[in-house]
């Protein structure tokens, strides 16, 4: 093995030193700066991606706040519309109820007038019936027919006294 031959140690050490220096210079001047540049670019890209992600997160948070504010506003508006419609419906119901009550009051008044007229007519016809029945009873009991004036006076007196 030539590496272990003692007479070539000096030349091997010289070539080792020269190769080491050349490789060191190549590494120090070319490879390491490129690797450093790549690492810096990568770090910069990661930083910009993180910044962009943070910016997008803040925009998303703002959009969510705006959405929630609009949603709350829409709910409030809907509640106001419902309250307004409810008030309108209640007013319409009250108006309609008052109209119906007025119509019912009018019908009740008319019915009371008709009842009073029918009662008066019944009472008037009752006097005629009472006079006829009284005259027939007096004639059956006494055998003599009483006068119409006398029967009507007796019926009137009995009615006035019965009240």
Cβ proximity of 28 and 22 under 8 Å: no
The first and second tokens of residue 162, run together, are 């019965």
- What is residue 162's predicted lDDT score, i.e. its pLDDT? 60
132-153 per-position pLDDT tens digit: 888 888 888 888 888 888 888 8
Residue 130: per-residue pLDDT: 82
Residues 135, 145 contacting (CB under 8 angstroms) = yes
pLDDT at 35: 94
Task: Please give the model's pTM, rounded to 2 decimal places.
Answer: 0.44
Sequence ranges of the domains in the chain? 9-162
Residues of the chain with pLDDT under 70: 1-2, 162-163
pLDDT of res. 86: 95
**What is 17-60 written as a DSSP string?**
HHHHHHHHHHIIIIIHHHHHHHHHHHHHHHHHHHHHHHHHHHHH
């Amino acid at each position: 093995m030539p590496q272990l031959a003692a007479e070539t140690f000096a030349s091997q050490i010289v070539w080792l030193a020269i190769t080491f220096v050349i490789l060191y210079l190549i590494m120090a001047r070319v490879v390491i700066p490129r690797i450093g540049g790549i690492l810096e670019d990568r770090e910069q890209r990661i930083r910009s991606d993180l910044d962009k992600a943070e910016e997008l997160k803040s925009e998303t948070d703002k959009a969510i706040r705006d959405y929630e504010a609009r949603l709350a506003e829409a709910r409030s508006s809907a509640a106001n519309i419902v309250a307004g419609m409810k008030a309108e419906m209640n007013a319409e119901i009250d108006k309609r109820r008052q109209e119906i009550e007025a119509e019912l009051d009018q019908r009740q008044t008319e019915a009371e007038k008709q009842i009073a007229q029918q009662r008066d007519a019944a009472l008037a016809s009752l006097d005629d019936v009472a006079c006829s029945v009284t005259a027939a009873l007096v004639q059956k009991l006494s055998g003599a027919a009483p006068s119409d004036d006398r029967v009507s006076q007796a019926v009137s007196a009995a009615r006035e006294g019965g009240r």
